[in-house]
Structure 1
């Protein structure tokens, strides 16, 4: 049996962050840059090309609970190791897709790889291995991976320019096998996993200890994560068009949107330096408040959009840490993978539906109403987190 250190080294955490940049760039963030080239080259319907990402996210959400159970039973290393070839195969199929049905079908494979290899499986693995000491590792991973869009989108654009969209998919497929897979092999040594004990009825003890569906802490946390993910997805997909609809030029909208990445990274630095010993519920409360205030400023006054976007990005950056650290603090390392898997399903389904619903709201009611809906969701999330904090205090 391999003796594991109390916490992963900074080098290991940084390498895991790099692996996440590549994995997210080859899945969740790929369509934003690739879609225009695909539509131009093939003539396929733009709605289906963009909608294929929703298919992938939906599959990821449906598989998330099963992934959590597998990690609980066998550890996260096999799941993360499997995610690289699954994503690579999906991108290979994407590159050679002769028609739209095959293109959408490739996203079913990519969605499976997303379920096995993005934040939630990695956080579950770290929580299972290092217990309460995983918080620092999760923060360090998100600190590095906070540069994802800043690196991924220019890289994909460069690959598309020189290799075409099919060549870009092949290049990313190679990176997943040649870079991400070796990183997981190096940073995640084999770990002996104690088999779950069973009761007379044959039900795993971990399942019995998982919070019941009526548990207020569990459901308040899940609802808050869903709202936060829906807001993040809507901003990621619609921000530039919303700002333009309210009078900003494309250059101005891009400049404002570019503030999100540095703000997220700055928030994670603050978390590393000052908030490591505080309960994650306080980080969550601060995150939801900053997101709400930032969106209100953007909606209310164009001149406050820059400051509003910095506040939003800071809150969003803290949220990505809290989604890993709060369930660990509330429910413990033993059932942590199961909790993450259960929470991930409704969260990812909400994210999959967001581009469709958000697009319809913007199309029929305009940018101001769309921002108002996002603000309402953000304010509702503050209420949910306040109720959750009260339950935690009990």
Structure 2
């Protein structure tokens, strides 16, 4: 365990960047590659596997505020460490599943791991350690973890080809135990003493500040839409491109561009972090998906690469916004619990969207894209209605 006094932002970024990459690759990005062989092997439909995955995601909505409050008081080490163990246990459960019931139960274990170990908890941990200065660290973690899809999809596909889907699950379980778990155990046990609010932050107390509710509703709306899109794309991007006539190899290749696009957008944000408000970043982020969707609908498979690049850049930016915007508008006090509450609608839609999107793709890939693009327009409107406290823009 690292002493809090020697725990630097750089070390935090490197540690959590690696563990978040493993966490997302072995959970959120797993079904896109392994759902079909899983379903065939245990005797259930592919949509049934996605339904189990959606139910696992739903646990984040139920547990998010409580785990966020725990991080506010006790730091991020405990839930993040527990997540590594839960991921490993759930992945082993998938690997040994012979019936749908066991497979579903294993996904629920992974769901508890996602609740305790993905971005929201990592962000809350960073705010606990570094206070109002955590935005740069949040961006840094997402820079590294932006490669989760680039690593996860091809590596899982390669493992499935080499050792089968069960062997792929066991390999990811081993990575959690051998890499993520020791790294999480090296984190400080407790957060730093509560810092003074930043000079430009809106004061926040346990009581609601006038205007907080409307800000929370607008922010939660944007968060929910982007979470639904991100969840659907994470689970279905290669199959979506395939439904539009892209070959399997080209679909995986185009999907692999998401990671570099996310990282490129985050590098730009990192360079401008002290010059640009996260609200501006959010507005830019949500505008990119509908542009890419229109291109893909109009041009078909030839626009696969531009679409994935635009989606990746927007998703990469918005991941930072999810952590930085509440910090900028409300300050660091009660950050973990506030982020958990803000993301309850997001987690509900995130849980439903892979299953619903699968049904829409079966009917019409263009319809699925159009619905997601319309949601992005709604999110853009919500962010346009939000105002920065300093200058009202």
Other-structure match for 1:37? 37
Query: Could you list the per-position Cα deviations for residues 11-64 of structure 1 after superposition, in whole angstroms to 9, with x for gaps in the alignment?
Result: 441231111111112222122222233233333332222222112101122111
Matched-pair contact (CA < 8 Å) for 2:16–2:141: yes
Superposed displacement of residue 393, structure 1: 4.5
Q: 1:252 to 1:153 in 2, by over 3 A?
A: closer
Aligned CA RMSD, in angstroms, stands at 2.7
Count of residues in correspondence between the two structures: 382
Other-structure match for 2:157? 157
**Bigger CA drift: 212-221 or 329-338?**
212-221
3-state secondary structure, aligned to 2:321:
helix
Query: Could you list the per-position Cα deviations for residues 204-251 of structure 1 after superposition, in whole angstroms to 9, with x for gaps in the alignment?
Result: xx8724668971111100100001111222333344444444444444
Other-structure match for 1:8? 9
Matched-pair contact (CA < 8 Å) for 2:32–2:234: no
**Bigger CA drift: 275-284 or 153-162?**
153-162
The CA distance in 1 between the partners of 2:383 and 2:58, in whole Å, is: 26
Other-structure match for 1:328? 327
The CA distance in 1 between the partners of 2:150 and 2:78, in whole Å, is: 29
| Alignment match of 1:221 (pick from 204, 219, 222) | 219
Which runs of 5 or more residues in structure 1 are unaligned? 196-205
| Alignment match of 2:295 (pick from 294, 297, 301) | 297
3-state secondary structure, aligned to 1:28:
coil
Query: Could you list the per-position Cα deviations for residues 296-318 of structure 1 after superposition, in whole angstroms to 9, with x for gaps in the alignment?
Result: 22223345554343223211110
Which runs of 5 or more residues in structure 2 are unaligned? 195-203
Q: Give the TM-score taking structure 1 as reference length.
A: 0.88
Q: 1:47 to 1:368 in 2, by over 3 A?
A: closer
| Alignment match of 1:265 (pick from 263, 266, 275) | 263
**Bigger CA drift: 242-251 or 129-138?**
242-251
Q: 1:238 to 1:158 in 2, by over 3 A?
A: closer
Superposed displacement of residue 326, structure 1: 0.9
Other-structure match for 2:206? 208
Q: 1:356 to 1:98 in 2, by over 3 A?
A: closer
Query: Could you list the per-position Cα deviations for residues 308-345 of structure 1 after superposition, in whole angstroms to 9, with x for gaps in the alignment?
Result: 43223211110111111111111111111011111222
The CA distance in 2 between the partners of 1:362 and 1:171, in whole Å, is: 30
| Alignment match of 1:288 (pick from 283, 286, 289) | 286
Residues 1:340 and 2:339 are matched in the alignment: yes
Other-structure match for 2:359? 360
> Aligned runs of 1:126-205 on 2, under 5 Å?
126-186=126-186, 188-191=187-190
Superposed displacement of residue 252, structure 1: 4.2
